[in-house]
Amino acid sequence: MLTYFTSAIFASLLLLLISTKSEGDELSVSRNSSLPLSDVDLLEFPLNLEYLEAEFFLWGSLGYGLDKVAPKLTAGGPPPVGGKKANLDPLTRDVILQFAYQEVGHLRAIKSTVKGFPRPLLDISAENFAKIINDAMKRTLIPPFDPYANGLNFLLASYIIPYVGLTGYVGANPQLQSFEAKRLVAGLLGVESAQDAVIRALLYERALQKVQPYDITVADFTDRISDLRNCIGKQGFKDEGLVVPVELGAEGRISGNVIAGDKDSVAYARSPEEILRIVYGTGNESIPGGFLPWGGDGRIARSCLKH
């Protein structure tokens, strides 16, 4: 009886071991990490945006980028095109420099969890921002919008970036399987959305001010940029400017919109494809351009490029 019992236990243990192993194979555990491959992909994808933010904020506040501040993190990827030191007031420079160093930390956090990839080619030139603003305004601004001209312009240009990362992290979260990936993404999301909130709050103070030399207010700039993202993301309404029709404000009761959110004030989610359409500026995840002239890296972005 005892022998029968013991061997039954032994057999079920053996089955358990076998089934655990085959489950592990099914998850395609990558060689150096215990993360499922799908988690690896979802953690590597945001590196594209984190590299972009790191370079834009470093260049804007310091006049140089990762090659000087954290060369190892570039893994030999090409230097960005068009970065330069912005003409920032002391408060904006202080805040942007903090963001810049935060992005360095984000890159390190991701790359110490997954292998990642070298810095992709990034276009952070004034011309690229001017083109995005022209697309948003549906006309050509004269003179062209220059993100590096002053603190307000740099904040408006910054409005273009962390929010996209934020929606990407919200979108990635429910797809993640492992505790480690969820913890990292929640941590990145927290700081990314805090950056977006700081940018929005600083702009909100000046919402009704005109952006010189244009006859366009700060609120209108944010509204147009958000509209453009809704349009080229192609998955509906997920982006809102600083002042909205009352029915789009919190609880449908207020037009001030210092923080974007859905009807329950819950953050919007975007898929990697939507994010690529937006950062490429082409509305098509297979056609690179914009901030990433050669396209993004990592399995998700590369597989979109093959189509």
Ligand X SMILES: *[C@@H]1O[C@H](CO)[C@@H](O)[C@H](O)[C@H]1NC(C)=O
233 half-sphere exposure, CB direction, 13 A CA radius: 21
Rounded distance between C-alpha atoms, residue 146 and residue 56, angstroms: 13
- What's the distance, CA 110 to chain centroid? 13
Is the CB of 51 or the CB of 280 nearer to ligand X?
A: 280
Q: Whose structure tokens read 């990936």? A: 181
Q: Which of residues 100-139 bind ligand X (CB under 6 A)?
A: 115
Q: Please state the φ and ψ torsions of residue 130, each to the nearest 5 degrees.
A: -60, -40
Rounded distance between C-alpha atoms, residue 271 and residue 78, angstroms: 27
**If binding is defined by CB under 6 A, does position 32 make contact with ligand X?**
yes
Least Cβ distance, residue 284 to ligand X (angstroms): 4
Rounded distance between C-alpha atoms, residue 156 and residue 211, angstroms: 10
- What the block records as the tokens of 70 is 């954290």
Q: Which stretch binds ligand X (CB under 6 A): 88-96, 171-179, 281-289, 295-303?
A: 281-289
Q: Which stretch binds ligand X (CB under 6 A): 85-93, 123-131, 268-276, 279-287?
A: 279-287
Identify any residues that bridge with 289 across adjacent strands, giving them in sequence order: 292
Is the CB of 231 or the CB of 287 nearer to ligand X?
A: 287
CA-closest candidate to residue 161, choices 272, 279, 24: 279
- What the block records as the tokens of 261 is 């959110």
**If binding is defined by CB under 6 A, does position 305 make contact with ligand X?**
no
**If binding is defined by CB under 6 A, does position 27 make contact with ligand X?**
no
Least Cβ distance, residue 30 to ligand X (angstroms): 5
Is the CB of 29 or the CB of 141 nearer to ligand X?
A: 29
Query: Binding string, 238-257, against ligand X, x = CB under 6 A?
Result: --------------------
Judge contact between 204 and 256, C-beta under 8 A.
Answer: yes
Rounded distance between C-alpha atoms, residue 70 and residue 51, angstroms: 11
**If binding is defined by CB under 6 A, does position 76 make contact with ligand X?**
no
Rounded distance between C-alpha atoms, residue 155 and residue 169, angstroms: 22
Is the CB of 74 or the CB of 102 nearer to ligand X?
A: 74
Rounded distance between C-alpha atoms, residue 253 and residue 245, angstroms: 9
Least Cβ distance, residue 285 to ligand X (angstroms): 7
The number of helix segments (H) and strand segments (E) in the chain equals 13, 0
Least Cβ distance, residue 33 to ligand X (angstroms): 7
Q: Which of residues 182-241 bind ligand X (CB under 6 A)?
A: none
- What the block records as the tokens of 89 is 């007031």
Among positions 1, 5, 31, 143, the unique one binding ligand X when judged by CB under 6 A: 31
**If binding is defined by CB under 6 A, does position 299 make contact with ligand X?**
no
Q: Which stretch binds ligand X (CB under 6 A): 86-94, 241-249, 267-275, 284-292?
A: 284-292
Is the CB of 198 or the CB of 287 nearer to ligand X?
A: 287
DSSP state of 121: P
- What the block records as the tokens of 193 is 């959305």
Total of residues contacting ligand X (CB under 6 A):
8
Among positions 67, 287, 299, 305, the unique one binding ligand X when judged by CB under 6 A: 287
Least Cβ distance, residue 63 to ligand X (angstroms): 35
Q: What residues line the site for ligand X (CB under 6 A)?
A: 30-32, 115, 284, 286-287, 307
